[in-house]
Structure 1
Amino acid sequence: MQALADDVARAVVHASASETSAYVAAGVTYPNGSAAVARIDRDGEAFFVSDDGNGALAAELMGASFAFSKLAPVVASRTGVGFDHGAFFVLRVERGQLPGAVIAVLSASARTVERSAYAVEHERIRRSRQMFEERVRTAFGEAVAFDVPVRGVTAEWEFDALVRTEGGGLSIFEHVSPAYPSIASANLKLGDVRRLTMPPRTTVVLADYEGTKPEFRSILAATSDRVLSANATASAYQSAA
């Protein structure tokens, strides 16, 4: 088992060094899949540990620099590390404290990038939801109601928009983000409603059509009458109903 433990440690932890610095990756990654790497520099008789600005770079590449700059000082203060000039760091680290300092810096860096990416995605979904509501209002006017409960075969579900068509029928529109929980929730709700003897017409409106995995789009297409992009024209919404 010791040999196994050593093998796993070698697979998880990677280290390299130059004449002046050491670099350690401890299996922590950013949301884009790149490794979080700690840089260790000698500081007199002690050491200086930082993420070398890699977290800020990862956030920039994901278009999340603004969120990162807001969140980084908060995360740093809560985790007991420093943050300045785009880098997380710990000053005056003794040799025996290096493992803990490396983990603290990498954790703070990765956590901030993850939260920044979430904040950017949340804002993107919020804007898409606004567009969705505007398009539905344009297409149907006063015939549309939002956040309406509809009874399925097994339970009552709340849907994002419900339209009463001129013929007296009902048409449901559900705004869905690319995230797995959103896909699963929409699939469950729509599947239950479509099992009714006289089901309403159902349309999935994707917050990010291209950003939704093709297999997820296929699943939603099988449990709805139509799949639209949130930025589809008002006439496309009307056709879907």
Structure 2
Amino acid sequence: MATVNFIHISDAEGGEATKALNRAVADMVRVSTINGRWRVQMPVASRFGSMVDVSVWPEGDGDTFLVSDDGAAYHAAATAAASNRIFTSVARSFCEKYGAIFDGGTMLFMRVSADRLKGAIVAMAALTKEVIDETLERSFAEKAHRIKDRFLERIDRAFPHAEVSQNVGIRGHSTAEHEFDALVEINGGALAFDLFSKAAVSVNSAYVKLADLSRLEVGPKPIGATRKRKDIGPKLNLINSVATVIEVDTDLENYARLAA
């Protein structure tokens, strides 16, 4: 495989600064050839990474070109364990928006004339990014909803005689109001549950809410709930320092013990 860096800044008097810039720019956009196809690496950041590859190859006598993601968006979705149903829906929708074609399986592509090649490469990079980002966002949201539904169902089963409220605003020690996923009022006390995932923003949000609640002299007991404790990694220590943490699918008896 031969790789050609096709951007270069020429400045004989620029010295080391120009060399450094040349190296940086050369790594931003590159062209390589694989099995008779050109692969253009574009500096387009998506949820899956900071670069997007666009494949290009000629048809017939070279007056027409195919410009494709070559399955890159599908690969990103599959690697992230995103829903194939959601990927298919998103790919069809965004291809229509960009005037591209989705083959119904894994590939996005455009068929263009030589004079439209530059625009098509840029458009395919943008299309690939949008399909990846939208697919992952919708899939993660769908998974979060499923986990929350399962969590709330277990709360109801664990505390059949308690008053359970969902999406409750509770003021912490700072007087700021935070929304908690569930408030269980039982035995003259209360448990405030906040559901969080391994995403850094989710862990940080849960920590802020639970820590603020834990500083109250009198108030609900802060409880963090997550799918798998081991998935959180070292940041779990943050939540453990201010709240009790349970797993969503733990035994119902473990939920009930929180009220003891």
Band of TM-score, shorter chain: 0.7 to 0.9
CA contact (8 A) 2:157 2:252 kept: yes
CA contact (8 A) 1:81 1:104 kept: no
Instruction: After TM superposition, list the pairs within 5 Å mapping 1:217-236 onto structure 2.
Output: 217-224=236-243, 226-236=244-254
Say which structure, 1 or 2, has more relative contact order (CA 8 Å, 6+ apart).
1
> Structure 1 residues 19 and 113 mapped into 2: Cα distance closer, same or farther (>3 Å)?
closer
Using the alignment, how far apart are the partners of 2:184 and 2:77 within structure 1? 40
Using the alignment, how far apart are the partners of 2:35 and 2:135 within structure 1? 34
2:40 corresponding residue in structure 1: 24
After superposing on structure 2, the runs of 4+ consecutive aligned residues of structure 1 that deviate more than 6 Å are none
Q: Secondary structure at the match of 1:52?
A: coil
2:78 corresponding residue in structure 1: 60
Using the alignment, how far apart are the partners of 1:28 and 1:138 within structure 2? 47
Q: Secondary structure at the match of 2:44?
A: strand
Matched, 1:80 2:99: yes
CA contact (8 A) 2:210 2:223 kept: no
Instruction: After TM superposition, list the pairs within 5 Å mapping 1:152-171 onto structure 2.
Output: 152-153=172-173, 154-166=175-187, 168-171=188-191
Deviation at 1:132, TM superposition (A): 0.8
- The alignment of Structure 1 onto Structure 2 pairs a total of residues equal to 237
2:6 corresponding residue in structure 1: none
> Structure 1 residues 63 and 194 mapped into 2: Cα distance closer, same or farther (>3 Å)?
closer
Instruction: After TM superposition, list the pairs within 5 Å mapping 1:57-206 onto structure 2.
Output: 57-64=75-82, 65-85=84-104, 86-95=106-115, 97-143=116-162, 144-153=164-173, 154-166=175-187, 168-206=188-226
Structure 2 unaligned segments of length 5 or more: list them: 1-8, 11-17
Q: Secondary structure at the match of 2:160?
A: helix
> Structure 1 residues 209 and 108 mapped into 2: Cα distance closer, same or farther (>3 Å)?
farther
CA contact (8 A) 1:148 1:160 kept: yes
> Structure 1 residues 56 and 34 mapped into 2: Cα distance closer, same or farther (>3 Å)?
farther
For 1:8, give the aligned amino acid: A
Matched, 1:8 2:29: no
Deviation at 1:162, TM superposition (A): 1.6
Q: Secondary structure at the match of 2:231?
A: coil
CA contact (8 A) 2:67 2:124 kept: yes
CA contact (8 A) 2:112 2:120 kept: no
Using the alignment, how far apart are the partners of 2:184 and 2:34 within structure 1? 65
Deviation at 1:30, TM superposition (A): 5.5
- With the length of structure 1 as denominator, give the TM-score of the two structures: 0.86
> Structure 1 residues 194 and 63 mapped into 2: Cα distance closer, same or farther (>3 Å)?
closer
Deviation at 1:205, TM superposition (A): 0.4
Deviation at 1:90, TM superposition (A): 2.0
Using the alignment, how far apart are the partners of 2:248 and 2:154 within structure 1? 8
For 2:37, give the aligned amino acid: S
CA contact (8 A) 1:164 1:171 kept: yes
Deviations 1:70-90 (A, max 9, x none): 100111122333322432222
Deviation at 1:128, TM superposition (A): 0.9
Structure 1 unaligned segments of length 5 or more: list them: none
Using the alignment, how far apart are the partners of 1:163 and 1:62 within structure 2? 34
